[in-house]
């Protein structure tokens, strides 16, 4: 019997598995390593986080992004504030896998259900196994959010080749050269996608609800009077990143509100030059309706002063983020999902990342409503993995 099953082989899954193996826990890891980054991020993208904040948590020293760049031939030596290319980060993640989690099984988990003494896990291959604990570390898979007007226009769902897509459905934006593309959103994904589309020769514009698009401040090494954290310089971010364990003691509505608003829509400082004066933006604009057709889409919008407009596009790219929804985790049986206590769609977790179903753990974005916005970033693996491992190991010792 396998003691623990980890579902997902991205940063959170690999980091959790590395810590579990180091504690001597028998673990099987299922998933395609770094799949979300390989299949759902466009070529030419950079991570928003700094190199130091882009390291996966390892149970011992020597496995940071900088360690990989030193060891691997031909990789750049990144400075403290250099943006991290997505291709480099993917190679780093696979290097981390090779050294610390070498037996990742590229298998899809088809079903997880409760059985006496733990869980029954069925793989797409037909294999069945038993586990005392299950760690769900599937990242953003299945959590892409499409606003209601756009969702109504494409009832069959967004598609990279259709008139409406989600930003997570693209790995190459060069095919939009010469086409009119409307990008919905004002966060990093929207602004960087728009810049990449513009650089690929597309006629692109951004539609944003806010009064303006925002970019972070350029870094500086001088004295600031504010603490430096993996999330940025501020006392508030210091609290979220250094005291994430205390976050779950805040009132539930406050936690949900902060997860949504802290580090909200904003582009990285290094993106501003590539975007400003290059990409037109329609601000204070909300989409009230949409029609999709074979050659494009029509968007109906309303501005803050009540004026209505129609926007015609050959393609609409929704960079509208992700929403945690256990229904999207189709491998969890309905009975198992029904047993998980939730708040605002997020599972309610204990200090060891365990849900109300004993032995079922969640890490990464689903843990954000319990431990805060740190769980939205790679650097959150440093907080999550040791605590989750201690909880799982204690159960295995029962």
pLDDT digits (tens, 9 = 90+) for 117-137: 899 999 999 999 999 999 999
Q: Identify the residue whose tokens are 């605002």.
A: 344
Which residue matches tokens 């069945």? 128
Confidence of residue 229 (pLDDT cuts 50, 70, 90): confident
CA-to-CA separations, 227 to 222, 232, 245, 262, in angstroms, rounded: 12, 8, 19, 17
Residue 358 neighbours by CB under 8 Å, 6+ apart? 395
Q: Which CATH class is domain 2-142+323-396?
A: alpha beta
Paired with 291 in beta bridges are 298
- Per-residue pLDDT of 286-322, as tens digits, reads 999 999 998 899 999 999 899 999 999 999 999 999 9
* CA dist., res. 356 & res. 348, Å (int): 7
Percentage helix, strand, coil for the chain under 3-state DSSP, each rounded to 5: 35, 25, 40
Q: How confident is the model at residue 227 (pLDDT cuts 50, 70, 90)?
A: confident
Of 45, 11, 47, give the one whose Cα is nearest residue 31: 11
Identify the DSSP state of 157. Answer: -
Task: Tell how strand 232-233 and strand 228-229 pair up.
Answer: antiparallel
DSSP class of residue 102 equals T
- Cα dist. 246→273, 328, 349 in Å? 38, 28, 13
Nearest by Cα to 272 from 208, 171, 210, 188: 188
* Predicted pLDDT at 231: 78
CA 108, CA 285: separation in Å to the nearest integer? 40
Q: How would residue 398 be classed by pLDDT, with cut points 50, 70 and 90? A: low
Query: Same topology for domains 2-142+323-396 and 148-215+266-318, yes or no?
Result: yes
pLDDT at 56 over 50: yes
Mean pLDDT of 73-81: 87
* Rounded Cα–Cα distance for residues 318 and 311 (Å): 14
In this predicted model, what pLDDT tens digit does every residue of 78-118 receive, in sequence order?
998 899 999 999 999 999 999 999 999 999 999 999 999 89
Mode of pairing for the β-strands spanning 180-184 and 203-207 = parallel
Q: Report helix, strand or coil for 109.
A: strand
The Cα–Cα gap between 243 and 143 comes to 27
What is the mean pLDDT of the segment spanning 158-164?
95
pLDDT confidence of residue 1:
47
Q: How confident is the model at residue 213 (pLDDT cuts 50, 70, 90)?
A: very high
Provide the H-helix boundaries in the chain. Answer: 11-22, 35-39, 65-71, 86-100, 148-153, 188-199, 235-242, 244-247, 252-261, 272-275, 334-338, 368-371, 381-396
Query: Is domain 148-215+266-318 annotated with CATH 3.50.50.60?
Result: yes
Q: Left, alpha or beta for 24 (phi > 0: left; psi -120 to 50: alpha)?
A: left
The fraction of the chain above a pLDDT of 70, given in percent, is 98
Instruction: Compute the distance between CA of residue 194 and CA of residue 211 in angstroms, rounded to an integer.
Output: 18
For the chain, give every domain's residue range.
2-142+323-396, 148-215+266-318
Q: Which two tokens stand for residue 232?
A: 């940025």
In degrees and rounded to multiples of 5, residue 139 shows phi and psi of 65, -135
Element (H, E) at 302: strand 296-303
Judging by DSSP bridges, how do beta strands 346-347 and 180-184 pair with one another? unpaired
Average pLDDT value for residue range 243-261: 93
Phi, psi dihedrals of residue 262, rounded to the nearest 5°: -65, 135
Distances (CA, A) of 212 to 184, 266, 300: 13, 10, 20
Three-state DSSP at 30 gives: strand
Interatomic CA distance for residues 211 and 85, integer angstroms? 30
Residue 213 Rama label (left phi>0; alpha psi -120 to 50; beta): beta
pTM (2 decimals)? 0.94
């Amino acid at each position: 019997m396998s003691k623990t099953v980890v579902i997902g082989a991205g940063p959170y899954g690999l980091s959790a598995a590395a810590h579990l193996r180091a504690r001597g826990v028998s673990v099987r890891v299922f998933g395609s390593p770094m799949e979300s980054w390989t299949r759902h991020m466009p070529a030419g993208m950079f991570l928003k986080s700094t190199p130091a904040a882009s390291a996966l948590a390892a149970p011992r020293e020597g496995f940071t992004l900088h360690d990989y760049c030193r060891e691997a031939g031909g990789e750049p030596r990144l400075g403290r504030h250099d943006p991290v290319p997505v291709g480099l980060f993917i190679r780093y993640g696979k290097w981390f896998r090779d050294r610390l989690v070498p037996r990742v099984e590229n298998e899809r988990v088809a079903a997880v259900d409760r059985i006496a003494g733990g869980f029954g896990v069925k793989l797409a291959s037909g294999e069945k196994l038993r586990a005392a604990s299950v760690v769900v570390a599937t990242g953003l898979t299945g959590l892409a959010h499409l606003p209601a007007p756009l969702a109504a226009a494409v009832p069959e769902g967004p598609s990279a080749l259709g008139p409406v897509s989600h930003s997570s459905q693209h790995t190459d934006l060069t095919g939009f050269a010469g086409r009119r593309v409307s990008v919905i959103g004002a966060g990093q994904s929207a602004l960087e996608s728009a810049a990449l589309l513009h650089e690929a020769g597309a006629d692109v514009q951004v539609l944003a609800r806010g009064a303006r698009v925002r970019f972070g401040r350029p870094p500086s090494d001088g004295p600031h009077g504010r603490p430096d954290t993996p999330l940025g310089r501020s006392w508030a971010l210091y609290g979220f990143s250094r005291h994430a364990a205390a976050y779950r003691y805040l009132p539930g509505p406050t936690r949900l509100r902060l997860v949504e608003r802290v580090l909200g829509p904003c582009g990285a400082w290094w993106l501003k030059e590539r975007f400003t004066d290059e990409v037109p933006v329609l601000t204070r604009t909300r989409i009230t309706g949409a029609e999709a057709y074979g050659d494009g889409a029509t968007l109906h919008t309303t501005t803050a002063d009540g004026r209505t407009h129609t926007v015609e596009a050959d393609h609409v790219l929704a960079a509208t983020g992700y929403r945690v929804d256990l229904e999207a985790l189709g491998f969890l049986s309905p009975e198992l999902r029904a047993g998980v206590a939730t708040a605002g769609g997020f599972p309610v977790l204990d200090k060891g990342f365990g849900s109300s179903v004993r032995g079922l753990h969640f890490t990464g974005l689903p843990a954000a409503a319990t431990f805060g916005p740190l769980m939205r970033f790679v650097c959150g693996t440093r907080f999550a993995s040791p605590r989750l491992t201690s909880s799982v190991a204690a159960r295995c010792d029962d």
